[in-house]
Structure 1
Amino acid sequence: MAIRLRTLLGDHACTAALKNGTIGSDVVAFDFADYSPTHTGFKPMVREQAFDVSEMAIVTYLMAKNFGKPMVLLPAVVMARFQHGFALYNAKRGTLTPTDLNNKRVGIRSFTTTTGAWLRGILANDYGVDLDSIDWVTFEDAHVAEFQDTTRRAPKGKQIVQMLIDGELDAVLGEKSDHPDLKPLFADVEGEEKSWFARHNVLPINHMVVVSEQLSRDHPEAVRDVFRLLRESAACAPAASPRFSADEMRRSLQMIIRYTAQQGLIPSEVAVDELFDDLTRTLL
């Protein structure tokens, strides 16, 4: 009889065939949880081990692993994208460029979001921005309860994009908007993305998949089949969907580990292999 797995997976091109039953298994069956947006399910996974299989933001996983949360990474990417288009400023109040951000007020949903970590890494390492000089304004706590967040919390009821429109913030990270006053912080987003990729040869990973430590320990055959299904589902996705070789995945993980350590979200860099256990490391 198939092992039933409590599962959190968002609706992505690479997960569609798995979620709609196009591909299946005699080994595992999925009970899909309904969280919208998907990231709202990360907190119960980290804090309560709510799922056997879960999509997970990579920075949240790095932080959770540091605090000994019983989760294991699978080498399966479900969401990856360039980040430059997710930074905005209010052009009505004058032009702002990435190098102008020192000592500015910058809003972000949570300081620990993966998009935020990527963008701060880009700003610090490619543009020389002093991240410590910025007045960070946040709206949510971290998924990992043990993390000590020292940022300034926005007043209750305030919305991040509206604060930017109203001049209460100078820029925001992790957001997009079609408001006519709001413009990309990186003026030529596509050009910036191309030149950044040419320099680093990295496609930023946002979300991967984790399994519970218990599932990996007690049912290795189930974990292998979950990975097989994720891989086959990704193969069914349109060609434009991100696909990672082992080397490409390692490069992206190495960079986000470095950025996450630089920003104090984890105490020090770890090796990519340490993100996996003896079972899931064999799937790389």
Structure 2
Amino acid sequence: MPDLRTVLADYPHTAPLKNGDVVSSSVRLDFQTVKPVHKAFAPMVRDEAYDLSELAVVTALQAIAHGRPVVLLPVVVAARFQRACLIAHASRPVAPQELAGRRVGVRAYAQTTGMWVRAHLAEDFGLAPQDIHWITRDGAHVREYQDPPFVEHGIGDTALVDLLREGRIDATILGNDLPEGDEFVPVVPDAVARDTQWWQRSGFMPVNHMVVAGASVARRDPGAVREAYDLLRRADATVARPAGTPSPTLFGFERLRRPLEIIIDACLEQDLLPRRLDVDEVFAPARDVLGVEAG
């Protein structure tokens, strides 16, 4: 039985895979502990460090555009509403319309949450990415990508929330590390309502993380990758979710076509991709492995 070196964060829909409730007789997922999970992204796209890995969707698209050895599977394992991820200090609130020319922090310009927030700022308030002075700590996981000139690096090890406390930035984008309490306030005051309306129009929650297989294992043992895809679907099916609520997971080539088209458009508008990718091009390697009807 082949072992697949696997990195997936802890979610209700990955728990059955990690605790042994959902297993396969033909493949074993050998889970590697990487916390936070984004620390697995650069090793995956640069060195194919794992056989199966969660990967931010912007990183996955950049990897494909730059010919890195990953096969993007039609699996979304993490999605969330994004507008509330843009925060300011409560003592220095700022309205979205006031962000032009301001300093806004984000861990990396290529971070997927940042991509979504910029897309929403453009859609809701007419702000282009270059209207804002972006302050970042990290570069992209894909080494070949270079940030645009309106992005500033070199903030050192100071946490973004501390930069915000000190007034060195006017707002910041945070994801899973979004702080609780009343020290910080959302820049978009009606974020929940806007996110809900967006979901009702689009039919999906903004995609954060998908799953990729390494190109080597896809060539060497496509059957193992097919079985891993089936495991992911089976595990997700064990999670009960209320009808009519947005789901953080999504499976299938055709179900993901429109979400990826929207993401690719946003990436092009934000100088995140060197060229336009076609969804059929993006999924072609996975179709060869899974079959055209997967999902």
User: Which bracket does the TM-score occupy, shorter chain normalised?
Assistant: over 0.9
Cα distance between partner residues in 1 of 2:71 and 2:155 = 36
Deviation at 1:280, TM superposition (A): 3.6
> Offset of 1:245 from its aligned partner?
5.8
Residue 135 (structure 2) aligned to one of 129, 134, 137? 137
- Does the 8 Å CA contact 2:135/2:155 hold for their aligned counterparts? no
Match for 1:242 among 240, 244, 248? 248
Letter in 2 for 1:230: L
Residues 273 and 281, structure 1, Cα contact 8 Å, conserved in 2:
no
The residue number in structure 2 matching 1:65 is: 64
Using structure 2 for the length normalisation, give the TM-score: 0.90
Matched, 1:226 2:254: no
Q: Secondary structure at the match of 1:157?
A: coil
What's 1:210 paired with? 212
Give, as a single letter, the amino acid of the residue that structure 1 aligns with 2:112: T
- Pairwise CA distance, 1:281: 5.7
The residue number in structure 1 matching 2:274 is 267
Question: CA deviation digits over 1:7-55, x for unaligned, max 9?
Answer: 1111111111111111111211122111111111111111111001111
Give 1:279's aligned residue. 289
186, 189, 199: which one aligns with 1:187: 189
Q: CA deviation at 1:100?
A: 1.6
Partner AA of 1:211 in structure 2: A
Unaligned stretches of 5+ residues in structure 2: none
TM-score, length basis structure 1 = 0.94
Identity of aligned residues (%): 38
Q: Which amino acid aligns with 1:22?
A: D
The Cα shift of 1:128 comes to 0.3
Contact 2:75 2:249 in 1 (8 A): no
Question: Letter of the aligned partner of 1:239 in structure 2?
Answer: R
CA distance in 1: counterparts of 2:189 and 2:216, whole angstroms? 47
Which digits, 9 at most, give the CA deviation of each residue in 1:224-279, with x for residues without a partner?
10110000000112315534364542222111111111111102322222222122
CA displacement 1:58-104 (0-9 Å, x = unmatched): 100000111101110111111011111211012312x4222221111
**Kept after mapping to 2: 8 A contact 1:203/1:252:** no
CA deviation string 1:153-189 (max 9, x = no partner): 2432311011111111111112422353310011122
* C-alpha distance 14-164 of structure 1, shift in aligned 2 (>3 A): same
User: Could you tell me which residue of structure 2 aligns to residue 161 of structure 1?
Assistant: 161
Q: What letter matches 1:108 in structure 2?
A: V
Give the direction of change, closer, same or farther, for the CA distance of 1:245–1:155 in structure 2 (3 Å limit). Answer: closer
- Which amino acid counterpart does residue 207 of structure 1 have in structure 2? H
Give me the whole-angstrom Cα distance separating, in 1, the residues matched to 2:249 and 2:162: 36
Cα distance between partner residues in 2 of 1:153 and 1:112: 13
1:171 aligns with 2:171: yes
Match of 2:90 in 1: 91
Deviating beyond 6 angstroms after TM superposition, the runs of 4 or more aligned structure 1 residues are none
Task: Tell me if structure 2 keeps the 8 A contact 1:10–1:55.
Answer: yes
Letter in 2 for 1:267: P
The alpha carbon displacement at 1:133 in A equals: 2.1
Between the aligned partners of 2:190 and 2:269, the Cα distance in structure 1 is 27
Alpha-carbon contact 1:82-1:204 (below 8 Å) kept = yes
- Does residue 254 (structure 1) correspond to residue 261 (structure 2)? The answer is yes
Question: What is the RMSD computed on CA atoms of the aligned residues?
Answer: 1.7
Q: Which amino acid aligns with 1:124?
A: A
Whether the 8 Å contact between 1:80 and 1:206 is mirrored in structure 2 is: yes
Contact 1:56 1:207 in 2 (8 A): yes
Q: Which 10-residue stretch deviates more, 97-106 or 272-281? A: 272-281
Between stretches 12-21 and 238-247, larger displacement belongs to: 238-247
2:17/2:23 contact within 8 Å kept: yes
**Count of paired positions:** 282
* Structure 1 segments unaligned to the other structure (5+ residues): none
* 1:93-148 deviation digits (Å, cap 9, x = unpaired): 2x422222111100000111111111111111232012212111001121111111
Give the secondary-structure state (helix, strand or coil) at the position aligned to 2:209.
strand
Partner of 1:18: 17
Query: Residue 52 of structure 1 corresponds to which residue in structure 2?
Result: 51
Task: Flag the 1:37–1:165 CA change in 2: closer, same or farther, 3 A.
Answer: same
1:75·1:280 contact (CA, 8 Å) conserved in 2?
no
Change in CA separation of 1:201 and 1:98 when aligned onto 2, cut-off 3 Å: farther
